[in-house]
Amino acid sequence: MKILGVSLLFFIFPAPFAFVTVQAFTGTYGINYGRIANNLPSPDEVVTLLKAAKIRNVRIYDADQSVLKAFSGTGLEIVVGLPNGNLRDVSADGDHAMNWVQDNVLAYLPDTCIRGIAIGNEVLGGSDQFSGFLQGAVKNVYNAVNKLKLSDVVQITTAHSQAVFANSFPPSSCVFQDNVVQYMKPLLEFFSQIGSPFCLNAYPFLAYMYDPEHIDINYALFLPTEGANDPKTKLHYDNLLDAQIDAAYAALEDAGFKKMEVIVTETGWASHGDENESAATVDNARTYNYNLRKRLAKMKGTPLRPKNVVKAYVFALFNENLKPGPTSERNFGLFKPDGSISYDIGFPGLRSLSADSLLLSLKDNRGCGWCGCYSIILTMATAFLLVFSR
């Protein structure tokens, strides 16, 4: 039976797949595909959008079947999420964790390139509703992944907000909150053992909104500015995101995990907000996200960790009309629900893609006779009108 089991596993996962070193992030740029909305494009259309934009790294906050099926065979690399509401059950029962991994990860591999599992989101630093379950859930999910021989393929992480930090400026002064340390240190110890990074949701937008009197908006938007100096390290910062990342590195070093990598799992800028959210404008969102792309394309590190190339997932792919909270929460998308761009930072929208594909098809058929092409041209012209009459 043991030999049969090994043979069956080998059949399902060929040798090249089974021995791939885990790579949860390819390159430096990724995006969060949130779906708290009732008006978004289908997952198949989303795949078209992502491939046209050449965005390969994608994070979702659950393990939705329709999304995982749509991503099958596309080469897009996805991190799925175990929602906070599942942490209690998964933490308490290893079998529950195994069932979840089998149903939501193993069932889709290798056709869907699932490269990671995010265990909860921003669990620590707020209410303690799920804090006590995070460590157990992380270990049980990892153990399940390991038993299924997927630990070299699927990386286990969890993302933190900046609420886990006691100080963030200057970056060198950053440490973890006292009420977080009891959960954070054993978690970091385990992540250090299995080679997982520290995942940070970093928002210069929120920092600026909280303290506009002391933070230059140009510093938050990657625009020319005097910047800021860290008096302890003597390092200079010309943008706020680098400072936020280095604050995380300082907290990790203080906790004894100097070698752990920091990956930005969320960052973005709202394009619309309430009256008291004056920084949430289309111009600011365009500026931040355009300059962020340029910053990541340089493939360089931060002042404190110049050899650690900054990697970031932008928040978010779409505006999400059902998200609770202030208006800004529903307006972080690079794209509108109809697939058109929220503002231009170099990505095509679904409408432009539809028009381009129609024009290419017409060119491909220009050599045929009029009678033979009449119905094709009529159909395409009708579709063209429908696309642009929405």
Kindly state the tokens that stand for 317: 């792919």
Nearest-angstrom CA–CA distance, 132 and 210: 29
Q: What is the per-residue DSSP string for 245-298? A: HHHHHHHHHHHT-TT--EEEEEE---S---TT-TT--HHHHHHHHHHHHHHHHT
Nearest-angstrom CA–CA distance, 240 and 218: 9
Nearest-angstrom CA–CA distance, 381 and 13: 46
Nearest-angstrom CA–CA distance, 366 and 220: 51
266 is catalytic: yes
Nearest-angstrom CA–CA distance, 315 and 300: 21
DSSP state of 172: G
Cis peptide before 170 (omega within 30 of 0): yes
For residue 116, what is the enclosing H or E element?
A: strand 113-121
User: Nearest Cα to 135, choosing from 76, 175, 194, 78?
Assistant: 194
Kindly provide the b/e burial profile for residues 66-98, where b requires at least 16 CB atoms within 10 angstroms of the residue's own CB: ebbebbeebebbbbbbbebebbbebbeebebbb
Nearest-angstrom CA–CA distance, 323 and 379: 38
Catalytic member of 122, 226, 253, 329: 122
For residue 29, what is the enclosing H or E element?
A: strand 29-32
Q: What residues are paired with 228 via a beta bridge?
A: 237
Q: Is the dihedral of CA 80, 85, 87, 93 positive or negative?
A: negative
Catalytic member of 189, 253, 266, 275: 266
Q: Is the dihedral of CA 138, 141, 145, 146 positive or negative?
A: positive
261 is catalytic: no
Nearest-angstrom CA–CA distance, 139 and 158: 12
Catalytic residues: 122, 266
